[in-house]
Amino acid sequence: MPHVTHVTFPGSTVGRAHYAGAMEPAQVPLPRSRPTRGRSHLPSPPPRSRAALATLAASLLVATGCAAPGDADGADTGGATAGSAPADGTTASAPDSAASPGDATDPSPGETLDLAAPSDVATGLEAPWSIAFHDGTAAGNHNGGRIAFGPDGMLYVTTGDAGDPSHAQDPDSPAGKILRLTPDGEIPNDNPVDGSPVHSLGHRNPQGLDWADDGTLYASEFGQDTWDELNVIEPGGNYGWPEVEGIGGGEFIDPVRQWRPAEASPSGLAVVDGSVVVASLRGERVWQVPIGEPQRSEDHLTGDHGRLRDVAEAPDGSLWILTNNTDGRGDPADGDDRVLRVPIE
């Protein structure tokens, strides 16, 4: 089985893990001219420690790496067995004929984040990278691509099913998994399966990763055309793809929250003040999901800044949010893509 062998730093002082093949530049369309969306001008954050800035920068750059051409924001373009999606990369949501336990959208009283107006931290960003496995399992679609160091010091890597849903249930494939590795790419001896980097399986295209203060790992995931997911990740857990999408109520672990793809296509996330905050691409918003009542949620910044790829908590307690409008699927404003700073009041 291929495994992550090192962390590389392509033209930057922040790293991304990759399988021992090349990380190839992606062709990014030039932005179309459009009037800049209005934003208030708030003071820039004060200077940070080098370690804190490196952590935020790594999250933001890895997020743009997930936006290689062909990443389908929850739509299937790689031969999934259940249903289909339009060739333009959009998804067709199933009708909301019956609400599920994870489909409520009312805010939880007393747990709402009060977000102030955003200001720019950086502008003119683009999505430069795609990911390739050294065994030839290259994936322009469903490639996951998120990396994060956990509170245990281990490196966690999300991988999509690479367009072949059967990979997700194959314990010998690195695709459709969340992998857990040492910082130098070795397999920890306390992983769920001895000698395997697999931390969890049954994923279609997991995106964001972050941990609550108690060590609980949360992950967001693109569904196919019915449900996108927020999952609590358990070591050795099986999340069901391609047998189930969303809440199935059977032998697999159900998401704690699900959305229709038109409302979400969830990407990066951060755990902030007792909530999981999730950036959404097709949904063009930030979802706040209270940890204590994950079936209840509230959306913020809906439609204000286009597609949102990642969110991270800055050392001053504000949110940094990365837009993703220049990859051919968005409607870029002047200066896109950008990092926004959003104070929590």
Confidence of residue 84 (pLDDT cuts 50, 70, 90): very low
Confidence of residue 258 (pLDDT cuts 50, 70, 90): very high
Confidence of residue 73 (pLDDT cuts 50, 70, 90): low
Q: What is the pLDDT of residue 87?
A: 33
30-34, 57-61, 134-138: the lowest-pLDDT one: 30-34
Q: What is the pLDDT of residue 139?
A: 56
Q: What is the mean pLDDT of residues 58-72?
A: 42
**The token pair that represents 14 in the structure block:** 């922040």
Question: CB count, 10 Å around CB of 201?
Answer: 25
Q: What is the pLDDT of residue 336?
A: 93
pLDDT at 216 over 80: yes
Q: What is the mean pLDDT of residues 124-132?
A: 56
Q: What percent of the chain has pLDDT over 90?
A: 54
Q: What is the pLDDT of residue 145?
A: 84
pLDDT tens for residues 244-256?
A: 999 998 899 999 9
pLDDT at 74 over 90: no
17-21, 34-38, 273-277: the lowest-pLDDT one: 17-21
Distances (CA, A) of 312 to 41, 101, 225, 264, 267: 20, 28, 27, 17, 12
Measured between alpha carbons, how far is 200 from 239 in angstroms, rounded to an integer? 8
Question: CB count, 10 Å around CB of 64?
Answer: 23
Q: What is the pLDDT of residue 229?
A: 98
Work out the burial of residue 338: count CB atoms within 10 Å of its CB; fewer than 13 is exposed, 13-18 middle, 19 or more buried.
buried
Most confident of 45-49, 100-104, 251-255: 251-255
Q: What percent of the chain has pLDDT over 70?
A: 63
Q: What is the DSSP letter of 168?
A: G
Q: What is the CA radius of gyration of the chain?
A: 18
Token pair 């800044």: residue: 305
pLDDT at 41 over 70: no
The helix (H) or strand (E) run that includes residue 89 is none
pLDDT at 129 over 60: no
The Cα diameter of the chain in Å comes to: 55
Q: What is the mean pLDDT of residues 219-235?
A: 96
pLDDT tens for residues 293-315?
A: 998 899 999 999 999 999 999 99
Q: What is the mean pLDDT of residues 171-176?
A: 94
Q: What is the pLDDT of residue 49?
A: 34
Measured between alpha carbons, how far is 287 from 302 in angstroms, rounded to an integer? 9
Q: What is the pLDDT of residue 180?
A: 98
**The token pair that represents 223 in the structure block:** 């569904």
Confidence of residue 95 (pLDDT cuts 50, 70, 90): very low
Confidence of residue 115 (pLDDT cuts 50, 70, 90): confident
Token pair 């997020």: residue: 63
Measured between alpha carbons, how far is 230 from 221 in angstroms, rounded to an integer? 6
Q: What is the mean pLDDT of residues 127-155?
A: 70
* Pairing between β-strand 147-149 and β-strand 155-159 as defined by DSSP bridges: antiparallel
Most confident of 31-45, 56-70, 85-99, 261-275: 261-275
pLDDT at 10 over 90: no
Measured between alpha carbons, how far is 152 from 81 in angstroms, rounded to an integer? 37
Q: What is the mean pLDDT of residues 26-49?
A: 33
pLDDT tens for residues 178-207?
A: 999 999 999 999 999 999 999 999 999 999
155-182: burial string, b at 16+ Cβ within 10 Å, e else? bbbbbbbbbbbebbbeeebbbbbbbbbe
**The token pair that represents 218 in the structure block:** 């949360």
pLDDT at 114 over 90: no
Taking 3-state DSSP, the helix, strand and coil percentages for the chain, each rounded to the nearest 5, stand at: 5, 25, 65
Contact, 166 vs 175, CB < 8 A?
Answer: no
Confidence of residue 218 (pLDDT cuts 50, 70, 90): very high
